[in-house]
């Protein structure tokens, strides 16, 4: 049996050899530092794809040792750009305001080690950095959506092999709904839930109102399934 130190070393080695983390940013300095701290030294490379930040985002990215790739704004374009720049067999896509919970390194290493998972993508459990009952209700609603609709969002992260990413066509250069678009192409059978939380900032819900923000997100999803072009949905999303 491996000692705890040996096991941790094997996990760290696997991540350093096989994993690239891609973070799309735009004026994300306020929350990016905590995300970088959570991930620093835990992968082969961190790629930050910036869409025209005018705050301290770029300076933070450069100071962190990440590879900075600048381009046009739009999360779909930025994610696709980051994936194209990556040189490892595994990719982890995260939002700049998301921190992974304890044990994420081991969970990712275990997923990558299983040969069958080369053809399955993984996502994390949705959690918010807010102690309120509204936050817990939203977390339960997201868990239901993932379980019964097989529809995790981008703020839950996405771990995927380069082979599978290329097979399904990767992220498309959409101004919105790029995560739903890719998840639908993957399908339920090629999705796995990891037993670790992805803790996302609740600032958007706190600022805009829990019901208002959630209703708008649901409306955007419904419009996308009805075939409304993402550029039009973007105007509603704000």
Structure confidence by residue, pLDDT tens digits, 187-220 = 999 999 999 999 999 999 999 999 999 999 899 9
237 has a pLDDT exceeding 80: no
Task: Compute how many other C-beta atoms are within 10 angstroms of the C-beta atom of residue 64.
Answer: 19
Show the tokens assigned to 222.
């419904």
Confidence of residue 1 (pLDDT cuts 50, 70, 90): low
Q: Are strands 45-50 and 67-70 parallel, antiparallel or unpaired?
A: parallel
pTM: 0.94
Structure confidence by residue, pLDDT tens digits, 67-102 = 999 888 889 999 999 999 999 999 999 999 999 999
Class of residue 83 by CB neighbours under 10 A (exposed 0-12, middle 13-18, buried 19+): buried
- Residue-by-residue DSSP string for 205-233: HHHH-HHHHHHHHHHHHHHHHTT--HHHH
Cα–Cα nearest to 10, from 88, 112, 117, 81? 112
Q: Which residue has the tokens 């739009």?
A: 74
Cα–Cα nearest to 16, from 44, 57, 47? 44
Confidence of residue 120 (pLDDT cuts 50, 70, 90): very high
């Amino acid at each position: 049996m491996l000692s705890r130190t040996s096991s941790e070393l094997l996990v760290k080695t696997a991540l350093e050899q096989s994993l690239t983390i891609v973070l799309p940013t735009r004026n994300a300095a306020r929350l990016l530092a905590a995300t970088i701290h959570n991930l620093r030294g835990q992968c082969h490379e961190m790629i930050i794809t910036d869409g025209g930040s005018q705050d301290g985002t770029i300076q933070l990215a450069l100071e962190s040792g990440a590879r900075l790739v600048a381009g046009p704004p739009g999360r779909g374009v930025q994610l696709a750009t980051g994936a194209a720049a990556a040189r490892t067999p595994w990719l982890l896509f995260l939002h700049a305001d998301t921190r992974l919970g304890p044990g994420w390194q081991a969970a990712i290493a275990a997923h990558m080690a299983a040969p069958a998972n080369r053809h399955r993508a993984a996502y994390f459990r949705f959690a918010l950095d807010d102690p309120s009952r509204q936050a817990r209700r939203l977390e339960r609603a997201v868990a239901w959506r993932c379980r019964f609709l097989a529809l995790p969002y981008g703020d839950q992260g996405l771990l995927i092999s380069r082979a599978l990413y290329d097979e399904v066509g990767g992220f498309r250069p959409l101004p919105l709904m790029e995560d739903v678009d890719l998840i639908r192409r993957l399908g339920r059978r090629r999705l796995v839930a990891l037993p670790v939380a992805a803790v996302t900032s609740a600032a958007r819900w706190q600022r805009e109102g829990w019901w208002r923000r959630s209703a708008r997100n649901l409306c955007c999803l419904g419009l996308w399934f009805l075939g409304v072009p993402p550029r039009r949905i973007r105007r509603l999303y704000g």
